Chains A and B, each alone.
Chain A
Amino acid sequence: MRDVSIIGIGQIEVAEHWDRSLRHLGGDAVLAAMQNAGIETADALYVGNMLSGLLTGQEHLGALIADFVGLRGIEAVKVEAACGSGAAALRLGYATVAGGLHDVVIVAGLEKMTDTANAETTTGLVMAADADYESIHGLTFVSINALLMRRYMYEYKIRHEDFAPFSVNAHRNAVGNPYAMFRRPITVEQFRRARMISDPINLMDSSGIGDGAAAVVLVPSCMAKDYRNGGAVRILASSMATDAVAVHDRPDPLWLSAVEASAFKAYQQAEVGPRDIDLFELHDAFTIMSALSLEASGFAERGKGVWLAQAGEITREGRIPVCTMGGLKARGHPVGATGIYQIVEVVQQLRGKAGANQISNAQLGMAQNIGGSGATVITHILEAQD
C-alpha cells in the first residue's frame, strides 16, 4: 500500500445554477482541481453522484465528464451510495492509488437538484431508503430523520430548541465561505420559529438542496512534490462501513453503528483517537444526524451530542469544530457532491487557506459522509503534509 495525498481541490458555489447543466458544473470543478494540482491529464476519473438519472435523465457520468474536460479515453465511472456517493468515489480513488493501479486520479462529486419540482426531488431523495418497506408508506427522507429525532428527544428528554446550536454554528461559518449557499447568520429564535417540514424537523434543522460540484486530485504521497500544486494533504485513513438501509431493521435506531465502525476503523488506520482530531466535517443533513454522528464517532457519550453543541464545543473556538465552512446545513447539500465538498474544506483548513474560518494550528481533519439515514458511512482522516 502506498500513502496517498490530495494535491488539488476545486469547487463551485452551491446554488441554483439554472444557467449551467450537469456537465458544465462537473467540468468547472474538475478543471479547477486540475489547475490547483498542476496536472494536465489523469489516469482515472471517479464521479460520485446519486440522482442524475432521475433528476436530469442522464446516467453514465464517468465517460460524460471525462470527455467534457478533455480526458476522453481514460478510465472513468460513476459511484453511487446515496448521499454518501462523493466520499464513496474518493474511497475508490484512494484504493486505486494506494494499491498502485494508478498514479494520478481525479475524484469529483456532482449533483444537479434544482431542475425538478419539489415532489420529484423528494421522490428522488427517498430512494436512499428501503423502497418496499419504507418509501411505499409515503415516508420522505426528512420524515425518516424526524422519526429518529422524535425518539431521541423522548429518550433523552431533550427539547427541539436544544438542537439550535448545530444550525447556528453552521450558518455562522458559512458567512466566511464564498462557495456556501446560505451566507448569513441565524438566531436561536429563527431556528425555533422556522416552518415545520416533518415534525419535529423544521426548515432550520434541514440542510439546503442545491446544485453543486467539487473535485480533488490524488497522487501517491511520494510524488506530491513533483507537481506545482497548492499544497499536499495526506490521507491518513479511509474507511467505509454499512448498516441496514431501513431504520426499522436496526436493533438500536439511535445508535449509528456504521458511523461507529467507520470512524473507529479510521482512527485505527491513522493511529489516532477522537481527541487528536482538530476539526470534523460531519454529515449534518439534519441536526439529529449531527448529534448521532458526534456520539457514535466518540466525541460525546450516548445522548450527549446535543450538550456538546450547547457547551459551544463545536464552534471554531471549541474543542471539536464541526461544519467549519457551513456544513450541509448552510454550505448546502448537493447530495452526491457533499462528500467531496467536505474533503475540499478539510484540505483548505489543513493548508491554512480557510480565510476567516481558519481553525488555528489545524493538523488533523476528519470528514464523514453518510448515505441514507446511516446505512453507508465513509470516514477520511487527513493530515497536513510538509
Chain B
Amino acid sequence: MSIPRHWRLQDQRYSMVGEVCNSCGAKLFPPRDVCPECSKPAYEPYTFSGNGKVYSHSTVYQAPTGYEAFVPYTVALVKLDEGPLVTAQLTDVDGDEVEIGMPVEMVTRKLREEGEDGLIVYGYKFRKVLHEQTS
C-alpha cells in the first residue's frame, strides 16, 4: 500500500482536521472544499473536538485483507458534537456494551498493518467517554 496515500491524510487521521464553510458556517468532516450545504467554497481548516455519540454500530466477524487480526471488532457511525457523522471503529469496549446514543471520544490507534515488515497505519477510533468533562 502506498505511503503517500496515508501521509497526506495525517491531519485528518491524527487530529480530525476538517473544514468550516465561510458562507454558511457548516462544519465539514472529511474536508471536501465545496460545502454540500450551500455549494460555496469551504477551505478554512477546522479542528473537531473528537466528542460525539454513537449513531449506529455493528460488529465485524469476516474482515477484509489487512484487518483479520482485529476480528471481531466494532465499527460505528459517530455523530460528532459539531454536527457531522463519521465512520470509525470503537475501541476499548465490548461489542455488547455499545448502545446507540453512548457518548464517545476520539483516540489514536493502529488502524491496520501490512504484514511483519509493512506499513502501520494509525488514525482515529472512538472509545466510551471515561470521565465527564469538567470545563
Residues of chain A at the chain B interface (Cβ within 8 Å): 118-120, 122-123, 126, 130, 132-140, 142-143, 146-148, 150-151, 154, 196-201, 244, 246-249, 253
With contacts A122-B64, A132-B30 taken as known, whether A137 is within 8 angstroms of B58 at the C-beta atoms is no
Task: Give the contacting residue for A138; candidates B5, B86, B112; CB below 8 A.
Answer: B112
The 9 closest A-B pairs by CB, nearest first: A146-B58, A248-B85, A151-B56, A138-B67, A123-B64, A147-B56, A123-B65, A150-B56, A122-B64
Tell me, rounded to whole Å, the shortest Cβ–Cβ distance linking B120 to chain A: 13
Are B84 and A140 in contact (CB-based, < 8 A)? Answer: no
Q: CB distance A134 to B87 under 8 Å?
A: yes
Is A137 touching B111 in the complex (CB atoms < 8 A)? yes
Sample of 22 A–B contacts (CB below 8 Å):
A119-B63, A122-B62, A122-B63, A123-B66, A136-B123, A137-B87, A138-B67, A138-B73, A138-B75, A139-B60, A142-B62, A148-B56, A150-B56, A150-B57, A151-B55, A198-B60, A198-B61, A200-B58, A247-B77, A248-B87, A249-B85, A253-B85
Report yes or no: A119 in contact with B57, Cβ–Cβ below 8 A.
no
B100: nearest residue on chain A (CB-CB)?
A154
The CA-CA distance from A130 to B77 in the complex, in Å, is: 14
- Distance, CA A135 to CA B68, complexed state (A): 14
**Quick one: which of A135, A138, A199, A253 contacts B77, CB cutoff 8 A?**
A253
Q: Which of A136, A140, A146, A154 contacts B121 (CB under 8 A)?
A: A136
Interface residues on B, range: 35 or more
- Distance A146 CA – B30 CA, assembled complex (angstroms): 22
Give B17 Cβ to nearest chain A Cβ, in Å: 13
Cβ of B9: which chain A residues have Cβ within 8 Å of it? Answer: 132
Q: Does B25 interact with chain A (Cβ within 8 Å)?
A: no
Closest chain B residue to A154 by CB distance? B100
- Which one, B5, B59, B67, B84, contacts A248 given CB within 8 A? B84
Q: How far is the CA of A122 from the CA of B67 in the complex (A)?
A: 11
Q: What is the bound-complex CA distance between A118 and B64, given in angstroms? A: 8
Whose C-beta in chain A lies nearest to the C-beta of B70?
A: A138
A58 to B123, CA, bound (A): 33
Docked complex Cα distance between A247 and B85 (Å): 9
Interface 1/0s, chain B 42-76, versus A by CB < 8 A? 00000000000001111111111111101001011
Beyond contacts A126-B64, A137-B87: 20 other A-B pairs, Cβ-Cβ < 8 A, are: A119-B68, A122-B65, A123-B66, A133-B86, A135-B64, A138-B70, A139-B87, A140-B62, A142-B62, A147-B56, A150-B100, A151-B56, A151-B77, A154-B100, A197-B61, A198-B59, A244-B36, A247-B85, A247-B87, A248-B85
Q: How far is the CA of A126 from the CA of B111 in the complex (A)?
A: 16
Residue of B nearest to A127 (CB): B64
Cα–Cα distance between A231 and B29 once the two chains are bound (Å) = 52
Complex Cα distance, B6 from A180, in Å, reads 42
Flag if A119 contacts B56 (CB, 8 Å): no
Judge whether B88 is part of the interface by a CB distance below 8 angstroms.
Answer: yes
Q: Is the CB of A120 within 8 A of B87?
A: no
> Is A120 a contact of B65 with CB atoms below 8 Å?
yes
- List, in ascending order, chain A residues with CB within 8 A of B76's CB: 147
Write out the residue numbers on chain A whose beta carbons fall within 8 Å of the beta carbon of B62: 118-119, 122, 140, 142, 197-198
Q: How far, in angstroms, from A247 to B66 measured CA to CA in the complex? A: 22
CB neighbours of A118 from chain B (8 A): 62
Cβ-neighbour of A139 out of B66, B75, B84 (below 8 A): B75
**A125 CB to closest chain B CB, in angstroms?**
9
Determine the chain A residues whose CB is within 8 A of the CB of B56 once the complex forms: 147-148, 150-151, 154
A143 B58 Cβ-Cβ under 8 A: yes
Whole-angstrom distance from the CB of B77 to the nearest CB of chain A?
5
In the complex, what residue of chain A is closest to B5 when comparing beta carbons? A132
A246 contact set on B, CB distance < 8 A:
87
Q: When chains A and B are docked, how far (Å) is the Cα of A69 from the Cα of B19?
A: 52
Q: With A and B bound together, what is the CA distance between A126 and B63 in angstroms? A: 11
When distances are taken between beta carbons in the complex, the residues of chain B under 8 Å from A142 are 60, 62
Q: Which B residues touch A140, using CB under 8 A? A: 60, 62-64
Q: What is the bound-complex CA distance between A133 and B68, given in angstroms?
A: 19
B84 to chain A, nearest CB (A): 7
Most buried by B among A118, A135, A138, A246: A138
Bound: A253/B63 CA distance, A? 23
> Nearest A residue to B99 by beta-carbon distance?
A154
Tell me the bound Cα distance from A37 to B124 in angstroms.
55
A132 to B111, CA, bound (A): 12
CB distance from A103 to the nearest CB of B (A): 41
Q: Which residues of A lie under 8 Å from residue B65 when comparing CB positions? A: 119-120, 122-123
Q: Which of A136, A151, A196 has the most CB of B within 10 A?
A: A136
User: Closest approach, in angstroms, between the C-beta of B11 and any C-beta of chain A?
Assistant: 13
Is A119 in contact with B123, judged by CB distance below 8 angstroms? no
